[in-house]
Chain A
Amino acid sequence: MATPKKTVAKESGQEKAGSPPEFTREQELKALRDMLLIRRFEEKAGQLYGMGAIGGFCHLYIGQEAVVVGMQMALKQGDEVITGYRDHGHMLACDMEARGVMAELTGRRGGYSRGKGGSMHMFSKEKHFYGGHGIVGAQVSLGTGLAFANRYRGNDNVSVTYFGDGAANQGQVYESFNMAELWKLPVIYVIENNRYAMGTAVSRASAQQDFSKRGVSFNIPGKQVDGMDVRAVKAAADEATAWCRGGNGPMILEMQTYRYRGHSMSDPAKYRTREEVEKVRHDQDPIEQVRNRLLASGVSEQDLKAIDAEVREIVNEAADFAQHDPEPDPSELYTDIYR
């Protein structure tokens, strides 16, 4: 089995970035809180899955939190977000309520899709979150369509379309790249390269492992970004949103990141070593990075604990709701098929 040669982000190709621009304390605190919420939420989801309260597939986002949180910090009201099946973090980052997401995971009536979508299929029109898609790569052309609608309407919204290193090998991704550049659509393609497409390492599946270059033949600019550093993500997102809002067409951001858990809850993750995971956790954990900076800048341990406590309360309340909310009424079987 091939072992990936690269360490995350350290050898990022195109731009040898120095330190990204510093965050204000307020930004650091917000990033910490939002990332912690995702992590604690996902830990709880994993726990509920183990208890049998969540069924089917459940793909956890632990380790990748800096990507959505950093991206979201650069967006404005109206920008659309769409992603694949590893979507819980994206929803929380879009300010969707933890209890509604968790209740969908448990298949209850208070879930965002009233229990009919599950982990991989949730939406919020109000929060401009367009799913939650279970077919690998399908969201890329859908996200391009969201950008098409922005251009059609002449607004300055940007579609942020997330997909993984695995989806990046799907044909429709390139069909979408072509149209997006051809029509100068305002879409940021965020490739979350967590180094494994399910159990297949990038090196075993991708002829071109520098995903920022995947748009070269369409003239789409791309950047490799340290996806473990929320500041680097935010800086790249600022650049990309400005590029898109300026009418220049799409941009690709390859986020070099890592997932700590298996592909799904049923994945024993035998394709990589425990040491590899531990090393990333130890050296690059996105949350620890922020926490350490905050402590170094004089924020007290006490203050950080308060944030953790607030987040845990939200998550516990969500889990409680999700386990006690009733299942959908049987009549729901036949609703929402047509409107």
Chain B
Amino acid sequence: MPIQVLMPALSPTMEKGNLAKWLKKEGETIKSGDVIAEIETDKATMEVEATDEGTLGKILIPEGTADVAVNTPIATILADGESAADLAKAPAAPAPQPKAAEAPAAEAKVEAPQPAAKAPAAPASEPLPDPEIPPGTEMVTQTIREALRDAMAEEMRRDGDVFIMGEEVAEYQGAYKVTQGLLQEFGARRVIDTPITEHGFAGVGVGAAMAGLKPIVEFMTWNFAMQAIDQIINSAAKTLYMSGGQMGCSIVFRGPNGAAARVAAQHSQDYAAWYSQVPGLKVIAPYSAADYKGLLKAAIRDPNPVVFLENEMLYGHTGEVPKLDDFVVPIGKARIARAGNHVTIVSWAMGMSYALKAADELAKEGIEAELIDLRTIRPMDTETVINSVKKTGRAVVVEEGWQQSGVGSEVAARIMEHAFDYLDAPVARVSGKDVPMPYAANLEKLALPSVAEVVAAAKAVSYR
């Protein structure tokens, strides 16, 4: 029976890709290892190698097709002795999702994990308009990775002291393509590839900032910044204080944080709570594309060290970004993403994806949740949270990180301190489970918060 070639997953977070080019024609002989096609992922253009031998029977997805979902059949390969007449025997597209144990028909040159347990997609309900955006502003649809890139490019155009350094930020165009095009526009003086040396280049960045430059230090992921945490905390965060105000540093440390997909414990961890404890640092963890852009611009301009936590799972997500010459979102202000009177749900970053969906579910049952996106973890906008809780009398905090000493614990404590008399139920926390992130798809899903858990918590505090 003819063999189906499926659209491969070429990165841990890839959900779809563009079929850029076929390198083999129908009827051509294919040997195992031949490059048969080029696929553009959200990160790069990748070659697809055949793992089966035979003849390219039929191309099912023509080149130039965009947004082909992972596991869609893209071609069939005829084994020896088969002919085009056998093509009909191939199962009709779309193929069923392969089970985890099955290998895809084609594999890329890089490891191609199966699509992972995914965070829920963007919710159906429209979020509330952001008061930072003037009414009537034209909006453009952008991926979050583009929003980040534009934020950096705009600030680099504005201020010659701003530069970016990190692993693969220049010639490779960014390990996650976030710095795409910056080298071409700003040159190697300002877009600097570093060796793999987190501790060292974090310190170099801080030193340059002490000398008055405004570095953006990209960590390929925040997991690797553990090697540099001494420079972030002891050198960047504390020097202004220890110098009696003489010498601070204007520096942004940024990169993807939190759970990625199927990369296990050492590459899946949320550092919001870690950095949020440190006076002298500002800690930002946005969710929406507009906030990613506006807050990164604010972070670059801020004269203090800023930890900017991004999320790899969100890089490819699109959102509306205001088309303004200079869109800056103030640090330290939460956003009411959805108004409601029955229960307050507080979250930030990826946690918002669960919270938004949960709010939709709750609305179907007549519970109107007020959803607050903290956006900045430090300084925390306690006032917005407290005002909401005073109205609703109930609160749920949603975070991907661990519960003990988590940001959610801090939010709960502040609610207790400032709105105790308004509470009709104890504050509920929904968080990542108290385990290192497992690899297996089912376990990974269990380790993360879920929409169902948020819904259940909201009902529990509502006694429903």
Contacts and interface: CB of A to CB of B under 8 A. Distances in A.
Interface of A: 80, 82, 111-117, 121-125, 130-135, 138, 140-150, 152, 171-172, 175-176, 178-179, 182, 335-339
B240 interface: yes
Contacts of B304: 338-339
Contacts of B248: 339
B243 A122 contact: yes
A117 B201 CA distance: 25
Contact of A337 (B199, B246, B279): B279
Contact of A142 (B197, B203, B279): B203
Contacts of A172: 199-200, 203
Contact of A113 (B199, B203, B246, B279): B246
A172 B241 CA distance: 24
Contacts of B208: 145-146, 148-149, 152
Interface string B183-212: 000000100001101011111111111111
Contacts of B246: 112-113, 123-125
A113 B206 CA distance: 19
Given A125-B247, A338-B280, A144 B195 contact: no
Contacts of A150: 211
B303 interface: yes
Contacts of A112: 243-244, 246
B200 A130 contact: no
B247 A141 contact: no
B163 interface: yes
Nearest to B161: A152
A336 B204 contact: no
B207 A142 contact: yes
Interface stretch (B117-125, B229-237, B430-438): B229-237
Q: Closest 10 A-B residue pairs measured CB to CB?
A: A145-B207, A141-B203, A175-B200, A114-B244, A149-B211, A142-B207, A113-B244, A336-B245, A121-B242, A123-B243
Contacts of B163: 152
Q: Looking at A132, A138, A145, A339, which has the most chain B CB atoms within 10 Å of its CB?
A: A145
A179 B242 contact: no
A175 B198 CA distance: 9
B203 A149 contact: no
B239 interface: yes
Contacts of B279: 337
27 contacts: A80-B211, A82-B207, A113-B242, A113-B246, A116-B242, A123-B239, A125-B247, A130-B211, A131-B247, A135-B230, A138-B231, A141-B200, A141-B206, A141-B207, A141-B231, A142-B206, A142-B231, A145-B204, A145-B211, A146-B210, A147-B207, A148-B204, A152-B208, A179-B201, A179-B204, A338-B304, A339-B304
B79 interface: no
Contacts of A178: 195, 197, 200
B213 interface: yes
Nearest to B304: A338
B71 to A, nearest CB: 42
Interface in B279-316: 279-280, 282, 303-304
B210 A142 contact: yes
A336 B244 CA distance: 6
Given A171-B199, A175-B197, A179-B204, A146 B211 contact: yes
B376 to A, nearest CB: 13
Contacts of A123: 239, 242-243, 246-247
B186 to A, nearest CB: 12
A305 to B, nearest CB: 37
B195 A175 contact: yes
A141 B210 contact: no
Given A125-B246, A179-B195, A336-B245, 16 more contacts: A116-B242, A116-B244, A117-B243, A131-B243, A141-B206, A142-B206, A142-B210, A147-B207, A148-B204, A148-B208, A149-B207, A150-B211, A152-B189, A176-B204, A178-B200, A179-B197
B243 A113 contact: yes
Contact of A130 (B204, B210, B240, B280): B210
B204 A117 contact: no
B391 to A, nearest CB: 31
Contact of B245 (A133, A144, A171, A339): A339
A143 B235 CA distance: 12
B242 A149 contact: no
A122 B189 CA distance: 31
B224 to A, nearest CB: 13
A149 B205 contact: no
Contacts of A133: 235
A179 B202 CA distance: 12
Nearest to A134: B234
A176 B203 contact: yes
B280 A337 contact: yes
Contacts of A131: 239, 242-243, 247
A143 B205 CA distance: 10
Contacts of B201: 141, 175, 179
B195 to A, nearest CB: 6
A142 B243 CA distance: 15
B199 A141 contact: yes
A145 B203 contact: yes
A271 B235 CA distance: 32
A246 B192 CA distance: 22
A206 B425 CA distance: 61
Contacts of A111: 244
Contact of B203 (A140, A336, A338): A140
Contacts of A124: 246
A168 to B, nearest CB: 15
A91 to B, nearest CB: 12
A138 B239 contact: no
A336 B213 CA distance: 19
Q: Looking at A111, A121, A142, A144, which has the most chain B CB atoms within 10 Å of its CB?
A: A142
A327 to B, nearest CB: 13
Q: Looking at B189, B200, B206, B207, which has the most chain A CB atoms within 10 Å of its CB?
A: B207
A14 B194 CA distance: 32
Given A116-B242, A138-B234, A176-B203, A145 B209 contact: yes
Nearest to A176: B200
